[in-house]
Amino acid sequence: MERRDFFKKAAVVAGAAAVGTSTSEAGTTVQPIDNRKVSPVAFPEKRPLIMYSDRPPLLETPRDVFTSVLTPNDQFFVRWHMPDIPTYIDPDKFTISVNGLVKKELMISLTDLKTKFEQVEFAAVLQCGGNSRSAFKPIAGGIQWGSGAMGCATWKGVRLKDILDKAGLKKDAKWIGFNGSEKAAYYETPNFVRELELTELDDKVILAYEMNGEDLPYLNGYPLRLIIPGYYSDSWVKMLSNITVTNEYKSLFFMDVAYRVPDNETESETPEKKFPKTKPIKKMNVKSIIGYPLNGDKLSLKSHTVVRGVAFDDGHGIETVMVSTDAGKTWGKALLDDGSLGRYAYRAFRFAFKPNTLGKTVIMAKAINKLGEEQPLSKDILWNHGGYKYNGIDEVTVEVV
């Protein structure tokens, strides 16, 4: 498909779904997603996903995808901030600029990235800071994501360190600013720019042009995306076009106003009270999601059932996943995969049981990482106005028949 036709086709599909008509691209099966009934919609390069907006595109992965350690590209969630996204990018003409406090400014093409630098590849989880926001009570502001604003992929590209070494940093360099090609519809809206302190840089921060062995999907940041494993996705700038090195932090809306949580680990905000001191969200906390069974599924009495899902954290690594099939009264240890994809990837888990009581059954899962940090009960989650970093113990309710 010509890239210039991409959003034209996407708009037609989304519009058809919005008015209730059917197309070959629009999902027609109504599914329960985190207790909500939705009709998935398929955008170009994507299978049917849960749509919150078509401009900018906001698409959530269905829960049943989270039984595998890698999320297929065509089922990977989508989150853009600005409605003006380039309709066509020529990979043969694309370049990324490296400027600011460097000894040599660079204009690097995709071919340069693939041939003139060492190539690296690893798996890492990408998760929106507002994932599971709909679980907050009372309701927090923002897109009411279920549990599917996340995914895990293998990312291939070039170390940011190697690019900066080629440019040469000046001695007073301290900050790196990143911005992509998405733009606001109104001139007063701030651009989506993120900054990274040089002390946060390591060999896992890369510029990726491949995802799961293929070119990045257009909706996931084609042709180049910043990858910062362990960090929430607001730091993973899409359609990366410019890198600027500076000696001081620049005030930015998306770091100074948006994507912030209270700088208080012991007390919740309330809808009437905001904490004056906040901090940006950066590293992810420990979390697990049940991919099977789903809310509303019917299980046969005494049947052999295997609860399956995934768990992850910011890279310290998952030590244990515990599963309860009686609403938290008792817990058993799930079996984990071998962790061969590395510490930034999902760990898949499974737990076998036989339902022996008719009626509603609540299945719960909680992950514990190698630091001993574990998912809290939902009632113990500290509420915040932005609805960020929710990681309460996951649960689904099924019916045994």
Domain-wise residue ranges, the chain: 1-284, 287-400
Q: State how far the Cα of 221 lies from the Cα of 134, in Å rounded to an integer.
A: 25
Q: Which pLDDT score is estimated for 87?
A: 85
* pLDDT value for 333: 98
CATH architecture under which domain 287-400 falls:
Sandwich (2.60)
Beta-bridge partners for 394: 365
Strand partners, 97: 107, 242
Alpha carbon of 274 to those of 142, 260, 383, 391: distances in Å? 16, 12, 10, 21
pLDDT (0 to 100) of residue 119: 98
Q: State whether residue 365 is helix, strand or coil.
A: strand
Position 259 scores a pLDDT of: 86
CA torsion through residues 60, 65, 67, 73, sign: negative
Tell me: domain 1-284, CATH 3.90.420.10, correct? yes
Amino acid identity of 344? Answer: Y
- Ranges of residues in the chain with a pLDDT under 50 are 1, 3-4, 11-29
Predicted confidence at residue 20, as pLDDT, reads 36
CA–CA distance, 347 with 332 (Å, rounded to integer): 17
Among 261, 254, 259, 227, which Cα is nearest to 126's?
227
From CA 309, how far away is CA 393, in angstroms rounded? Answer: 13
pLDDT at 181: 84
Sequence letter at residue 363: I
Write out the H or E segment, with its range, that includes residue 15. helix 6-18
pLDDT at 193: 77
pLDDT at 23: 35
Residues 216 and 209: beta-carbon distance below 8 Å: yes
Which pLDDT score, from 0 to 100, does residue 400 have? 98
Instruction: Name the pTM for this structure.
Output: 0.91
Q: What is the predicted pLDDT for the residue at 189?
A: 62
Q: Identify the pLDDT of residue 26.
A: 36
